[in-house]
Every structure is written in C-alpha cells, then in structure tokens.
Structure 1
C-alpha cells in the first residue's frame, strides 16, 4: 500500500486545500510551524503508485511511498501558490495549539488534528527514493503541482 503525506488538490479543492493567498489583506492562519519542512504528495502521483504496485508482483508485500517532491515549508507552499496566482503572498500566522484545545469537545475534527499536528510542528519529510529506484516512478514536478492546483482553484473561483 502506498503511503503519502499531505496531498495538494489537483482536482476540485476541499476544505483541506492550502490557504488561498491574496484573497484579502488579513493573515492566513496555519496549524503548526509554517517554516518546518513538510513533504507534499500530488494526488496523481498517489494514483500512479497505486496502479504500479497493484500490477507489479515485485511490489507486493511491502509498503511504498508515493513519489514526492523535496519537502518545503508551508510558508514556501503559500508563496509559490501566490506567485503562480499572481497575487501577493499572505502574512502567515500560527494557530497556537492551546487555542485549539477548548474546542476539542465540540469540534471532533480539531480533536483528531491534535493526533497529527506533530507532522506540521517539526520537519515531516518523506523519502520516496525506493519507489523511484524500484518502480521508476518520479513525482510530478513541483511547479506543475502548484500550477495545476491554482488552475483548479481558479476554476472554482477560490483564487483570483
């Protein structure tokens, strides 16, 4: 079974899509450390990896990481999205973990966020080199991931 980290939307945006810079002069609030490196995996790379491991007997019986570009901080992700969208980069603010805790009894998704927030508070880097070496799969270039995501969000009128 392939493993991934966060998957930027290449299709229709969801509530988990990265913040959309340039929409207002207000700050963009993020969970965790906006400067900690984080591996982001394109959903198309996940699909290609699933197809490859399902049809290659050499892949059976072990876990595979979907091909993933080098880790970037959330701040860099948002700056890249802003640059591609032709808008200014957002001011980034960190949501304090303590601010989330009072909502846990009332907002189950925030309670669950507490279990995975460590992925955004310190480096969370995925090594997919075994997938590339064994299956010949490489990640979609980062610039294509960003461009396609912005295009999808623009089509949904979530970025200017």
Structure 2
C-alpha cells in the first residue's frame, strides 16, 4: 500500500533539479512555488516566455519530441508534467506527450509528478469524488484520461517509476484565462456590468480548483519523499454552486449578485458542428448539469495543505483580469 493510500507521508524531502514540462498557468506558478521552497528549477516550453522568478532556467524544446524532452530533463531529480494540448486534440496528442514525460523521467532516474483531472471518474451520480472513486468514464476525453492514468499506475505498482498523480477539478485562478469555465469569458462581462454565459445549471453545486493550489500541491508532493500514489488537490470544501461562486466575483466588483445566462447542451452541440472546441465542451457538459463535488481532504490530512477559500481565490482572479485589461487599454 502506498503512502498516498494510507494518507501519511515520510518526512524526508526530494531535492535536486526539478524540471517542469509546460509553461501555462500551472507550470509558471509551479516554478514560483518550487523556487520558493529553495529548489533548482528548469522550465521547458516550446515557445512561450513566461515571467519566471530569478534563478529559474528556461529551456525551449518541443514536448512532442521525446528526444528533446529527454535532453531537456537531463539531470532532473523530479519531472513535473503539466502539459495541456489543444482540447480537441487530446486523443491524438496527450498520450504521446505523457509517453515523452515518462521517457524523460526514466532516462534521468527521476520521480514523475503528473497533473491529471477528474474526467476519468465519469458522472458522480450523487457521490463526492475521492482518490478511491472508481474509474467509470463515459465521455471520450474521460476514457483518454483513464488510459493515461492507469498506465502511470501500472508503472508505479510494478516498481518501474516513482510516480505521483495529482488530480484537480475544473481550474480557476490568475492566468487560467479562457480555459477556465469561470475564467475570462465569464468574468469579463461581469466586470463590465453585463450578463455572463455559463455552462449547464448554475445552481448545481460544483467544485472548482484554484490554480495556485494546484501548483502548491505539486510542489509539496514533488519535494516530499514517500508520496507515490494518487492525490486530489485540496478544494474549498463548501458545496457552493457556480452561481454562488460568481456572486462572490460580483460582490468583489461592487455588485449585489452575478447576472447569469445559461448555455444549454443542445446549443453547445449545435455550435460544435462549426467549432471543434465547442463540440469538446459539449461532451463534458454533464459536469455542470448535476452536483459535481471533489474532495481533496486526504492531502490536507497528510501534509497539512489547505485550500484557498473561494472568497480569496475569486478576488485574486478578478484582480488579475482587471490588471491585464488595464494593460491593454
């Protein structure tokens, strides 16, 4: 039984070089968190030039090229996989990207810390999702995620690779932008005093995971020995609905409540006929049509990492949007 399944960890830490594959919102924040812990950090990105702390190395390499990834991760003690291909390209691109990360970790003799999501669980059917929830995906992207996750589980269980799998619910937070279900496309209209369009039923309870909490969880698990296994990122445990979360944004903006409009699934499917991304979103709309709650209590109990309250996270997300908007004006 792994330390993760027991809910306990050993006190010694994993030092050395930490290589972060991916420089999006999570990867950039992860570099910040690792640097704050005193780790040596190298970020690998194909083209972006993220704002990184002093002392963090930036290497340009194509994550789709296994040889390039192996070279970029040379000397690593820990490889963090936070890659995120285009939503409509998951089936084609995601498994090879993970294979490259695995190859890089093996070549370096490193631990692999891999970011995952909760699509592989399928519909909650009234259950709060935990690390022990069965894998019952019914959507294509969920099945992709299941295959990828179970491949890593086999490598760990067979003793071939030290693997930590970190799972998050739907992201929100600074830098998440349009990729978040409650990101720029929802918050920008609210900031302008206009109604915002949201997915599904906004009055259903829904767990959102704060991007900086994802980074903190990965940094902590990557620098603590004995954490091999599956962990959920801690989330605000209150079963707030999407409407209640966005009401927090409205109040931070000085309004009493959020004006919301809903996009029905049939409309998403119709849009999907001409927009591939909308077709992919429609496939996952079930998450927003029923209670969708995800617990990260195990990690809090094991390492003391607590979730950022929605009030604080939403305020920081709105402030980040307003700063970026001001720069463009």
Band the TM-score falls in, shorter-chain normalisation: 0.7 to 0.9
Q: How far apart, in 2, do the equivalents of 1:118 and 1:12 lie?
A: 21
Q: 1:74 is matched with which residue: 233, 242, 246? A: 242
The alpha-carbon deviation at position 148 of structure 1 amounts to: 0.8
Structure number, greater radius of gyration: 2
Q: Which residue of 1 aligns with 2:220?
A: 52
Q: Secondary structure at the match of 1:36?
A: coil
Q: Is the 8 A contact 1:22 1:90 kept in 2?
A: no
Q: Which runs of 5+ in 1 are unaligned?
A: none
Q: 1:9 is matched with which residue: 150, 168, 173? A: 173
| TM-aligned CA distance change 1:86 to 1:55, over 3 Å | same
Kindly indicate whether structure 1 or structure 2 has the higher relative contact order, using CA contacts under 8 Å at least 6 residues apart: 1
Q: Is the 8 A contact 1:7 1:43 kept in 2?
A: yes
Q: Secondary structure at the match of 1:37?
A: coil
Greater shift, 15-24 or 78-87, is seen at 15-24
Please say if 1:87 is aligned against 2:255. Answer: yes
Q: How far apart, in 2, do the equivalents of 1:46 and 1:38 lie?
A: 17
Q: Is the 8 A contact 1:40 1:68 kept in 2?
A: yes
Q: Which runs of 5+ in 2 are unaligned?
A: 1-164
Using the size of structure 1 for normalisation, the TM-score is: 0.87
Q: 2:205 is matched with which residue: 32, 37, 42? A: 37
Q: How big is each residue's C-alpha offset from its partner over 1:101-144, in whole Å with a ceiling of 9 and x where there is no partner?
A: 22223211111112211111111101111010112110112221
Using the size of structure 2 for normalisation, the TM-score is: 0.44
Q: Secondary structure at the match of 1:56?
A: coil
Q: 2:322 is matched with which residue: 138, 154, 160? A: 154
The alpha-carbon deviation at position 46 of structure 1 amounts to: 0.4
